[in-house]
């Protein structure tokens, strides 16, 4: 099984290299490394060549690498990784290797140049990420599991929330629940933003206490075996006024407009536009200050972006967030977000939590 799907991914990567007329690729980005090889350690690099698949790591990960990536040729380097790489390049007579230009540091690049004087270095971007755009069935089931843990944490919180709790404590309740139910580290720092702080789209939990009458934006995501989920709900404590209710309903309708657009063949930008035009027509256009959504997988933010003018065409197997929001400085904010799978005939929401206005 393990060899099966990783073998399939490696095959696709090699095919991709061939179409780019690239002899070999050095894979440094942790998510890409994990995607291709299954190796989950903190340190290591892959070299993908037509006849070789090499995993370089250090002594701490020897046993783990053998277990997780049994079909990769394992090289445990002692001193410097680059010296080990230089040896392999000579052995395989490689003339050119690609490197991930949006990940490798300039210093690492300089060292590669220094130690591989006879190898041309070609910067590439998004090569393995392109493969990761469409999730296979195993990936979808892992994202689904992360989404279920995330949704359950929010449901649990609704019963556990008390007036006067600091935002940080609320975040801690959510994170502990997710870990207790099989989640790894949270996929990102949990956002709990009450009252005026809700106007900060990325207002991570602070020491401020949540009070009756406040809207609270709660944005959380479990990870499960490396895969992320992403969910936001905005709830109200104790009582709600007419304006809070109006803005909540506007955001909820904006999300419904965007979801109604989603199906294979539609461009990402059109989905963004559906929510954006609806909010503009209702007078909230300038208060929706970010993109509608992003891909979710081994990274919590990856391709495709659901943003203005994005030409990517949606395909079955993509997983994206749909998260319109309205943020009014000095007042607060509302965001509603689901993680959504693009399906053959439309879409499937993976984050199973009601969007009815919750007044706790």
Q: Enumerate binding residues for Mn ion (CB under 5 A).
A: 230, 321
Nearer to Mn ion, 267 or 301 (CB): 301
Compute the least distance from the CB of residue 340 to Mn ion, in Å: 11
The residue sitting closest to Mn ion, measured at its beta carbon, is 230
Nearer to Mn ion, 312 or 339 (CB): 339
Compute the least distance from the CB of residue 133 to Mn ion, in Å: 17
Compute the least distance from the CB of residue 295 to Mn ion, in Å: 10
Pick from 156, 230, 171, 157: which is nearest to 206 by CA?
Answer: 171
> What is the distance, to the nearest Å, from the Cα of residue 106 to the centroid of all Cα atoms in its chain?
25
Compute the least distance from the CB of residue 232 to Mn ion, in Å: 7
Nearer to Mn ion, 144 or 321 (CB): 321
Nearer to Mn ion, 190 or 321 (CB): 321
Helices 242-261, 268-281: crossing angle, 10 deg rounding: 150
Nearer to Mn ion, 57 or 299 (CB): 299
DSSP 121: E
Distance CA 148, CA 154 (A): 10
Distance CA 209, CA 211 (A): 6
Classify residue 140 as left (phi > 0), alpha (psi -120 to 50) or beta. alpha
Compute the least distance from the CB of residue 317 to Mn ion, in Å: 19
3-state secondary structure 132-154: HCCCCHHHHHHHHHHHHHHHHHH
Nearer to Mn ion, 129 or 230 (CB): 230
Burial 76-107 (b: 16+ CB within 10 A, else e): ebeeebbebbbebbeebebeebbbbeeebeee
Residue where the block lists tokens 């990102």: 188
Q: Determine the length of the chain.
A: 360
Nearer to Mn ion, 97 or 319 (CB): 319
Nearer to Mn ion, 14 or 355 (CB): 355
Compute the least distance from the CB of residue 156 to Mn ion, in Å: 21
**342 sits in which H/E element:** strand 338-343
**88 sits in which H/E element:** helix 81-92
**67 sits in which H/E element:** helix 62-68
Compute the least distance from the CB of residue 152 to Mn ion, in Å: 18
Compute the least distance from the CB of residue 179 to Mn ion, in Å: 20
Classify residue 58 as left (phi > 0), alpha (psi -120 to 50) or beta. beta
Distances (CA, A) of 177 to 57, 159, 166, 337, 351: 34, 13, 17, 20, 16
Distance CA 16, CA 193 (A): 43
Nearer to Mn ion, 244 or 339 (CB): 339
Compute the least distance from the CB of residue 256 to Mn ion, in Å: 18
């Amino acid at each position: 099984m393990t060899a099966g799907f990783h073998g399939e991914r490696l095959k696709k990567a090699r095919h991709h290299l061939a179409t780019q007329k690239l002899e070999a690729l050095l894979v440094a980005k942790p998510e890409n490394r994990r995607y291709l090889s299954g190796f989950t350690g903190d340190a290591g690099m892959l070299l993908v060549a037509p006849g070789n698949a090499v995993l370089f790591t250090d002594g701490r990960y020897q046993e783990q690498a053998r277990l997780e990536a049994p079909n990769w040729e394992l090289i445990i380097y002692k001193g410097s990784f680059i010296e080990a790489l230089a040896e392999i390049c000579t052995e395989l007579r490689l003339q050119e290797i690609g490197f991930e230009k949006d990940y490798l540091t300039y210093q690492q690049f300089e060292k590669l140049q220094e130690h591989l004087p006879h190898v041309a270095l070609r910067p590439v971007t998004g090569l393995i990420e392109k493969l990761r755009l469409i999730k296979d069935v195993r990936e979808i089931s892992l994202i689904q599991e992360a989404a279920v843990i995330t949704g359950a944490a929010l449901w649990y919180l609704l019963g556990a929330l008390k007036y006067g709790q600091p935002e940080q404590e609320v975040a801690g309740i959510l994170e502990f629940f997710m870990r207790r139910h099989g989640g790894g580290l949270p996929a990102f720092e949990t956002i709990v933003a009450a009252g005026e702080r809700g106007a900060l789209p990325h207002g991570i939990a602070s020491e401020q206490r949540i009070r009756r009458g406040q809207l609270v934006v709660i944005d959380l995501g479990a990870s499960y075996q490396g895969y992320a989920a992403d969910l936001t709900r905005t709830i109200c404590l104790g009582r709600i006024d007419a304006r809070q209710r109006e803005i909540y309903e506007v955001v909820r309708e904006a999300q419904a407009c965007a979801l109604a657009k989603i199906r294979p063949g539609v461009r990402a930008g059109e989905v963004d536009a559906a929510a954006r035009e609806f909010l503009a027509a209702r007078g909230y256009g300038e208060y929706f200050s970010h993109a509608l959504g992003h891909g979710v997988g081994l990274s919590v933010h990856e391709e495709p972006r659901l943003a203005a003018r994005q030409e990517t065409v949606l395909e079955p197997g993509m997983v994206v967030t749909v998260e319109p929001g309205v943020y009014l400085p000095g007042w607060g904010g509302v965001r509603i977000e689901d993680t959504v799978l693009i399906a053959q005939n439309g879409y499937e929401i993976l984050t199973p939590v009601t969007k009815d206005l919750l007044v706790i």
